[in-house]
Amino acid sequence: MSTPVSHQPTLQPIVKEYYTFAEPPAEITLESGARLGPVTLAYETFGNLNAARDNAILVAHAFSGDSHAAGHYTTDSEGEKPGWWNFMIGPGKGIDTDKYFVVCPNILGSCMGSTGPSSINPATGKPYGLNFPMMTIGDIVTTQKTLVDHLGIKRLHGVIGGSVGGMQVLEWCVRYPEFVRAAVAIATTMRHSALAIAFNEIARQAIMADPNWNKGNYYGSNKPDLGLAVARMVGHVTYLSDQAMRRKFGRKLQDKETFSFGFDGDFQIESYLRHQGSKFVNRFDANSVLYITKASDYFDVVDRMGRIEGPGNNTREKTKHLVISYTSDWLYPTYQAKELVQTLKRSGQDVSFCEIEADCGHDAFLIPDERLTTLIRGFFDGLS
């Protein structure tokens, strides 16, 4: 007699949606002072909003992510690839969609459905390119708040994200503290170190040095694929760790027994990075890399995190914070997470902290790990 197969519950097929606002003459004003409109945000939702409209969790994606955080799309043409946090979001998972209404918007400045430098500038009928105004993490969060209001959400049960997504979490806490019941910041920082800025600048220079970049006006012609691939290779190294690369690659050769004594790429790590670079050029826009990395470099909430409460504002329910770091993350090391925790504590915030031991590097939060799932499930469910 055969044993029944147990199937983990999954989300229903997902549909990417779009919300357009700030139609001229009612453009939004960015932190730079520039005006932008119309603005479109691509987003996906999972689960159902309750009658009180207060069970929503906003998931903020990382630098090159998108709104497809979980589940599968409805048509074959959109692809069957599961969402980037599929192990975390869904019925019975860490963020349980039987309990919570999950919203994941694609960020402003991206090229994955939201308005960015590759979008059509209504004033010219051509892609913005470098005419797209410089935006900040604050601008990204302001547009997300507009979307959340549009969806009829009265208060966020939580906001959660890793890396650049974690920056958005912190920005939500300082801009709209009364709107956020709980915040989970994973593998992130209150501001970029010189090291992080340096790697971003190398990536930007690789793109701008490509002869096809043409000062951002490459749409409709040859794209700066080589520069973008090199930028991705540089970035990808920062997402890994020495331990992970030693474990996975070491000094193993790629499909050969001895050195080529040339520049074809002898080692497996060389082949891996080239593969990552070539994949990236097929799905991401070079100008979006420039804008998002610069917005990340500008980000700085060190002073504002210490003033979340503000004078005379102690009667409201304080946001509960969970800060998570990884032992092998050298892009945003644990000492930066501890600085965040100390800043929150000094301002009287309710904050918990966990450092997870893992050798996967910065990208560890994107890898299935029951410890992370358990932490997040317990944190959000504990608020109920």
User: Active-site residues: which are they?
Assistant: 163, 329, 362
Quote the tokens at residue 352.
């918990």
Helix and strand tally (H, E) in the chain?
Answer: 10, 14
Instruction: Specify the residue for token string 């501001």.
Output: 191
Question: Is 290 buried (19+), middle (13-18) or exposed (0-12) by CB count in 10 A?
Answer: buried
Cβ(154)–Cβ(53) below 8 Å: yes
Three-state DSSP class for 121? Answer: strand
Quote the tokens at residue 70.
């979980």
Quick one: which of 351, 203, 169 has its CA closest to 291?
203
Cβ(270)–Cβ(276) below 8 Å: no
Rounded Cα gap, residues 142 and 352, in angstroms = 26
Quick one: which of 183, 182, 185, 285 has its CA closest to 228?
285
- How many alpha carbons fall within 13 Å on the CB side of residue 226? 6
